Amino acid sequence: DATKMSWISKPFELHRRLIGDRVRNNAFHKALHKTIKPKESVLVDIGSGTGFLSFVASKNFKAKKCILIDSDGDILTTSKQLSVKNKIKNLEFIEGNSWEMEGGGISEKGDVLISETLGTFALEENILETLRDAKGKFLKEEGVIIPNSITQFVAPITSSKHHDFVLGPWDSVSKEFQFDLTDCGKISASNMFARPIEKEELGGYEGLAFDFIDFYKPANQLKSIRKSKKMKWTAKGDDKVFGFCVWWEAVLTPGVVLSTSPHSERTHWDQAFLPLFKPIQLEANDEIGIEIISNSDVELEGGCLVDWKVTQRKGDKVVLCVQNAE
C-alpha cells in the first residue's frame, strides 16, 4: 500500500506551539499555584485545548473539579483521551462556544475562571468578549479571573527588516518584470503582521500603553465595539520609521506577568507589526504619532479589526498624515 501523508492541521499545530512555550507554561503554572485551593477550588477553563491548564490545576494543585469548554470537538476528544492516560478523573468536558451557552450550562460555578485565548494582537481571539460573558455566567461572585488584566503597548520601528518582508516581494517583482504593483504593496501595508521583532529594532523608543483591560470590571465597562488611542514620540535624531511594533503584558495574578515585549524572554507569540507603505524620515525634535483603532467582536471574521493613522509634526505644523487603509 502507498504510504499516506498529510499536513498537520493548523489548529493542532497551534497546540504544539503552545505546549512548547516554556515561558507561557511556567507563568500559568505559577498563577494556578497561587490561586487553586486544594480540594476546594472549581476551575472553569474556556478554550481549554489539550487540557494542559486544567491538568496542572487538577494533578499538580489538587483542584476539586475542572470544567473544560472548547468549541473544537476534535481537540476536546484528544483532551479526554489524555485525561484517561494521565488518570485525571475530576474533569467535566463541554463542547461549544462559551458565549452561546446558557448560565446553567455547567454543573456548578467556578472559583477560578481561566482563558488563554490570547493572540499576537491581544484581543484577536476574543478574550475580551469571552471573559466578559463568562464572568457573569460561570464564576462565583468572589471568584478569581486569570488573567486579571491586559495592557497593550506600541513603539516605532527604525529597522527596515520587517518593512522589506511586507513590501520587498512587490518591489523586487516590479523591478524585475517592469510591472507597476504599487496597489498590491499598499494593500499589504494596510495589514497587521506577526513578526519576531527585536528590541534593537525599536531604535531606543519607549513602548507606550494604548489599551488597558481590567477583567474584574463590570461587564458594561468592558467595551468590545471600538477602541481608539493616540500616542506620540519626539525624534531623538535623524531616524527613519518603517512601522510600529505592538505587544502586550498580561497580569495573570498579582506578581505573575506574561509578556510578549521585545524586551522580555521570547514566547511562541511574535509581536504585531503595523507597517507604513512609505517609511517616514524624521529629524531631531520632530513628533511622530500614531492612533490605533481596534474593533473586537465575536461576530467579526478573524475576531478583531485594527487600523492605524500616523502623523508627523514639525513644531505645531502637521507635515504628514497617513492611514493604513488608504
pLDDT of 51: 96
Q: How many residues does the chain have?
A: 326
What would the DSSP string read from start to end of 169-197?
Answer: HHHHHHHHHT---HHHHHHHHTS-EEE--
Strand order in the sheet with 110-115: 91-95, 65-70, 42-46, 110-115, 139-146
Task: Please state, in angstroms and as integers, the Cα–Cα distance from residue 56 to each residue in 36, 59, 71, following that order.
Answer: 10, 5, 21
CB atoms within 10 A of CB 1: 3
Say which residue the cell 504510504 belongs to.
3
Q: Do 136 and 104 form a contact (C-beta atoms < 8 A)?
A: no
C-alpha cell at 137: 455566567
* C-alpha cell belonging to residue 172: 523586487
Specify burial of residue 56 (Cβ count, 10 A radius: 0-12, 13-18, 19+): buried
Rounded to whole angstroms, what are the CA distances from 260 to 34, 246, 278? 22, 9, 27
Whether this model's pTM surpasses 0.85: yes
Mean pLDDT of the chain: 91
The per-residue pLDDT for 2 is 45
* Predicted local confidence at residue 66, as pLDDT: 98
The predicted-structure confidence for 61-86, as pLDDT tens digits, reads as follows 999 999 999 999 999 999 999 999 99
Residue 104, pLDDT score: 65
Q: Which residues of the chain are under the pLDDT cut of 70?
A: 1-11, 103-104, 219-226, 298-303, 325-326
pLDDT, position 325: 64
